[in-house]
Amino acid sequence: MNKFADFSKVRMDENNPRWEQAISRETELYQKEGDLRTPFERDGMRIMHSKGYRRLKNKTQVFFAPHNDHVCTRMEHVQLVASVAETIAKYLNLNKDLVRAIALGHDIGHAPFGHHGEMVLQNIASAENLHSFWHEHNSLMFIDNIETLTDNNGFQQNLDLTYAVRDGIVCHCGEVDEKFVKPRNEACDLYSIEKGGCLGPFSYEGCVVKLSDKIGYIGRDIEDGVSYGILGKEQKQDLLDVVHTIYPDIKINELNTSSFTHSLVLNLCLNSSIEGGLRFSDDCFDVLKLVKQFNYKHICNHPRISKYKKYATLILETLFEQLSGYYPNIHESINKDRTLCPQLMNAFEGWMIKYSDYNLKEKENRYCKNKQIYTISDETDYKNCVLDYISGMSDTFAIDSFHEVISF
């Protein structure tokens, strides 16, 4: 007998009264003859084929621009979250295709240099009176407006994902501080959401990813901290001893990704119900908070990382100052600096061609039928264009572009 709760009554499938809303798309998506995939499987593959997804392999999870092949990047993080979410969905009888698609896309708009980079871009946006910047919203914006794929006729088109996937992405905030998570009752305009974590997802599958995001990173951060010498093995053992002393019923034998993930997933599945929502036991929830506080104190605020934050700040502020300073003589300024900064100038001009009215003839020549979202002659619009462009950079591309700007 299955000892876990059965969530099949609220599973997002054809029997769910929310199904038509969940699979709705803002624009009808072209079809391939004989396509065997579900709408959510198709969304997951469209995310995986996007360039934004590929850039995650060179974006920070915790440690900036890692040169260690075995330290977690944001690409590995989203795969860990997808694996955790699919396991939970399997045992609770929820839709695995939906949780996988949400998980794969949830950080596609994350800034370079992790949450510190996000904070730097937030400060720039505030100082310049630009649109508010938070990574969940930026992920939705990238999914809706930036990422494209080639259609059956060779044209670049937007991804046009389903509502349930888009909703799960913008509502994924993994900083879970409540003891249980349930989906909200109604659909809404996703761009009306003002900040991360203020609104629950539309589906139970979205709620699964929200919790899996936290499960996916918290144990791995400790492993990476030990690998880089940020944490000593004694510190890790001390934390484990505290956990066992305060919460003797929590069966965590080792603070590594595998052991921690297994314990949290099992606890969540055993304590969740349709009536009570997705939840951990009180003891397990307290352990999560304890380990999170430990990670924040001993890893995120470690002096080595704090020093790199200053470097990351300099990079992002310099790139914004450089590119935003081209207004209003944008074309002439780019041509002037093309020899000095060829990588940055060519890439940024390509961005403007694709997403703005900068050169509509060239956009047509490049077979781009995606949305136009910036009016370059408007200064605020242009600076939003610059901010969004920088937000999509990988750590490595941002560093290389910075070196072009400061080199002679």
Q: What is the mean pLDDT of each successive set of 10 residues along the chain, which is 408 residues long?
A: 84 97 92 86 97 95 79 92 97 98 97 95 98 95 97 94 98 75 95 89 97 86 82 78 72 70 91 95 87 85 89 98 98 96 98 98 97 97 98 97 95
Q: Say yes or no: 99 and 166 in one domain.
A: yes
- Residue that terminates a domain, selected from 276, 300, 324: 300
In a domain, 201, yes or no: yes
For residue 153, being part of any structural domain is answered with yes
How far, in Å, CA of 222 to CA of 47, rounded? 29
Helix (H) or strand (E) holding 180: strand 180-181
Would 118 be classed as within a structural domain?
A: no
Domain range holding 48?
Answer: 8-28+35-108+147-300
| Judgement on whether residues 313 and 282 belong to the same structural domain of the protein | no
Residue 116 lies inside a defined structural domain of this protein: no
209 lies in the same domain as 333: no
Looking at the structure, tell me whether residues 293 and 323 fall in a common domain: no
**Among 273, 44, 83, 51, CA closest to 164:** 44
227-235 CB contacts, 8 Å cutoff, 24+ apart: 227/68, 227/70, 227/71, 228/63, 228/68, 228/71, 228/304, 230/298, 230/299, 230/302, 230/304, 230/305, 231/298, 231/299, 235/298
What gap in Å lies between CA 170 and CA 52, rounded to an integer? 16
The answer on 292 and 174 residing in a single domain is yes
pLDDT at 213: 92
d(CA 112, CA 121) in angstroms, rounded, equals 10
- Domains in the chain: how many in total? 2
The domain boundary, picked from 300, 329, 359, lies at: 300
Rounded Cα–Cα distance for residues 329 and 376 (Å): 11
Last residue of a domain, one of 269, 300, 331: 300
Q: How many CB atoms lie within 10 A of CB 34?
A: 5
**190 shares its domain with 211:** yes
Contacts for 312 with CB less than 8 Å, ≥ 6 apart: 64, 112, 113, 116, 117, 120
Examine residue 279 and state whether it is found in any structural domain, yes or no. Answer: yes
Distance CA 172, CA 192 (A): 15
**CATH number of the domain that residue 50 is part of:** 1.10.3210.10
Q: Does residue 139 belong to any structural domain of this protein?
A: no
> How many Å apart are CA 175 and CA 210, to the nearest integer?
8
Q: What is the CA radius of gyration of the chain?
A: 22
